[in-house]
Structure 1
Amino acid sequence: MDDLFVFLSQEWMLVGILVVLIYVYAWRERLKNGQPITTSEATVLINSDAAVWLDVRDSGEFKSGHMVDAVNIPFSKLSEQIDSLEKYRDKTLIVVDKMGQHAGSAGRQLGAKGFTVRRLSGGISEWQNQSLPLVKK
């Protein structure tokens, strides 16, 4: 363990560069998945007709409560149904899931196909925590 501290103190510049590179890599990966968006920013985009909700939760969760006019494509079926989103190519797709666990992967898939993507920070849980409205089927 002492050798590690000696190395870190002697090679502080190399260690610093490594930390910066790791940070830059993580930041770029985060952007590839679609930038996070707050509930208020998302509402502005939706109300200005510049965005569409894409809910990637399964059908049961979607029916228990979702955003008005949200498109539901379960994450497990996204890769095979991605072509059905072509009609929204000129809009930003705001990816919504339960708590953010699948939004990044969905955003990466959509971004690779050329869509403009944002991820709702905190997912539907954050939406509900702020007492924002949901449609139930």
Structure 2
Amino acid sequence: MKFIVDNWMLILIAVSSGAMLAWPLIRGTGGGSLTAQGAVQLINRERGVMIDVRDAAEYAAGHATGARNVPFDQLEQKLPGTVKNKSVPLLLMCASGARAQRALATAKKLGYEQAQVVGGGLKSWKEANLPIEKA
């Protein structure tokens, strides 16, 4: 007990750092992040729609096969016209996953409750040796 009392600050730092390390894992399971293989399964089994939120030039340079381009800054205006059925899984992708994570909030706000982010973006898609096409 004396050790805990004498070193309470060190114990607090250790617990805090452990919590900060665990937070991405906890958030990842409930935050809508999906593996590239999981995205393929949703596309094949539940007719999921892949939306690439990068700008047109990035999209033209290379994108996941079958992905539709709706740039992040135009998401609110163009997504409802691009994906009319809000009950299908909506898979959001960008280069690394950061923009898609921000796009997730917009998609949920627009009523796409099954929206998810492809974790790692196009980078993880390529690492999984999944097909890429150029516009």
- Same fold by TM-score greater than 0.5: yes
- Report the CA distance between 1:63 and its aligned residue: 1.2
Residues 79-129 of structure 1, C-alpha deviations (whole Å, 9 max, x = no match): 222321452312111000000111111000111122021100100011112
Q: TM-score, normalised by structure 2?
A: 0.75
Residues matched between the structures, number = 128
Q: Which residue of 2 aligns with 1:110?
A: 107
Q: Which residue of 1 aligns with 2:119?
A: 121
- Report the CA distance between 1:50 and its aligned residue: 2.9
Matched residues in 2 for 1:79 and 1:59: separation? 16
- Report the CA distance between 1:31 and its aligned residue: 7.4
- Report the CA distance between 1:132 and its aligned residue: 1.4
Q: Which residue of 2 aligns with 1:62?
A: 59
Instruction: Structure 2: give runs of 5+ residues left out of the alignment.
Output: 1-5
Instruction: Structure 1: give runs of 5+ residues left out of the alignment.
Output: none
- After superposing on structure 2, the runs of 4+ consecutive aligned residues of structure 1 that deviate more than 6 Å are 25-32
- Report the CA distance between 1:61 and its aligned residue: 1.1
Matched residues in 1 for 2:38 and 2:98: separation? 20
Select the residue among 6, 30, 40 that pairs with 2:37.
40
SS at match of 2:133: coil
Residues 21-51 of structure 1, C-alpha deviations (whole Å, 9 max, x = no match): x99x98897678x510001111111112431
Identity in percent: 25
Q: TM-score, normalised by structure 1?
A: 0.74
Q: Does 1:101 align with 2:70?
A: no
- Partners of 1:107 and 1:119 within 8 A in 2: yes
Distance change (3 Å), C-alpha of 1:130 and 1:78: same
Matched residues in 1 for 2:126 and 2:24: separation? 29
Structure 1 letter corresponding to 2:127:
N
CA RMSD of aligned residues (A): 3.0
Distance change (3 Å), C-alpha of 1:39 and 1:30: closer
Matched residues in 1 for 2:127 and 2:49: separation? 21
Q: Which residue of 2 aligns with 1:136?
A: 134
